[in-house]
Amino acid sequence: MKETINAAKEKMTKSLNALGNEFASIRAGRANPSILDKVLVDYYGAPTPVNQMAAVSVSEARILVIQPWDKSTLKLIEKAIQASDIGINPTNDGSVIRLAFPQLTEDRRKELCKTVKKYGEECKVTVRSVRRDTMDKLKKMQKGSEITEDDLKDCEKKVQDITDKFCADVDKAVADKEKEIMTV
């Protein structure tokens, strides 16, 4: 019974962490190294993340500097960034690659806010689906006489409280990200 609730809590935590990772890859007009997490470079036939091939740092508020450990990979990293969906053209000066993040337009900010809300809603759906699965497990346990009806009611209340907490956490994360995006 407790294991079932803990498993549900763990799954909800994972979905909230996944939401955080999604939010990290949304650029809000500020340079953020995590935007390159999904960019893979074809390095000797193996797709390799940029952060494993180079030092990625923020030199100014809107400039990201990528300094490869192996200078011969400079062109490969540049091509991978151009092919990705980041939407920023890299500048290669022969030793480092610079990504200059442009100031976001009002329309683009609103578009990003819609995307953030969509991700938040998907995360809530996942949390609710975990709740439903957990409730089903608990009802089966009650039918199989593993737990009493009172235990079932208590567990359902606990699971609902946990679900409400995670939904509130998702709402807060969405609100924080929207605030970050809309800040000029």
pLDDT tens track for 53-106: 889 888 887 888 999 988 888 888 888 888 887 778 888 888 899 988 878 788
Instruction: Identify the residue with better confidence: 35 or 28.
Output: 35
Tell me the pLDDT tens digit for each residue of 105-163: 888 888 889 989 999 999 999 999 999 999 999 888 888 888 888 888 998 999 999 99
**Confidence tier at 28 by pLDDT (50, 70, 90):** low
Architecture of domain 33-100: 2-Layer Sandwich (3.30)
Residues of the chain with CATH 1.10.132.20: 2-24+105-182
CATH topology of domain 2-24+105-182: Topoisomerase I; Chain A, domain 4 (1.10.132)
Say what percent of the chain tops pLDDT 70.
Answer: 98
Q: Transcribe 30-89 into DSSP letters.
A: S--GGGGTT-EEEETTEEEEGGGTEEEEEEETTEEEEEESSGGGHHHHHHHHHHSSS---
List every span in the chain annotated with CATH 3.30.1360.40.
33-100
